[in-house]
Amino acid sequence: MVTYSSRETKTEEISFEKSEIWIETQTTREHFVVEVAVTPKQRQQGLMFRSKMPRDMGMLFNFGDEIRLAMWMKNTLIPLDMLFVNKNGTIHRIVQNTIPLSLQTIAGGGPTLAVIELNAGVTQQLGINSGDKVIHEIFDTN
């Protein structure tokens, strides 16, 4: 299991490319603009130190291969919903309303290619559930 963390304080500005994802639920297709964290430094930084995020935005952590991992909320100021996604784009676990600044690890619960972080409450409001599909170029949805 891999746990991703960051330094205690902000030391450098890290930039992220933006991309689009769609989440297909049983009743709808939801669109989000995401910042993509691919490098170790980007994955360590994530959404740390941000005080707000637009409702239709999020972050996509791409780990390159399916791994067993855990996340945490260290230095993350806003509550989030975390979606753990396998290589086929299937959401296999959702953790809602994570606690800002918590050092408790949040396990992925199985092989995970990517984690999507959205504002807390969005998955419940939009009816996003485990088993739903994420559409993005990193997933093999064939």
pLDDT digits (tens, 9 = 90+) for 15-69: 999 999 999 999 999 999 999 999 999 999 999 999 999 999 999 999 999 999 9
Predicted confidence at residue 141, as pLDDT, reads 73
All structural domains of the chain with their residue ranges? 2-135
Q: Is the pTM of this model over 0.75?
A: yes
| Placement of tokens 């979606």 in the chain | 83
Q: Which CATH number fits domain 2-135: 3.40.50.1370, 3.30.230.10, 3.40.50.12370, 2.60.120.1140?
A: 2.60.120.1140
Residues 114/60, Cβ–Cβ less than 8 Å: yes
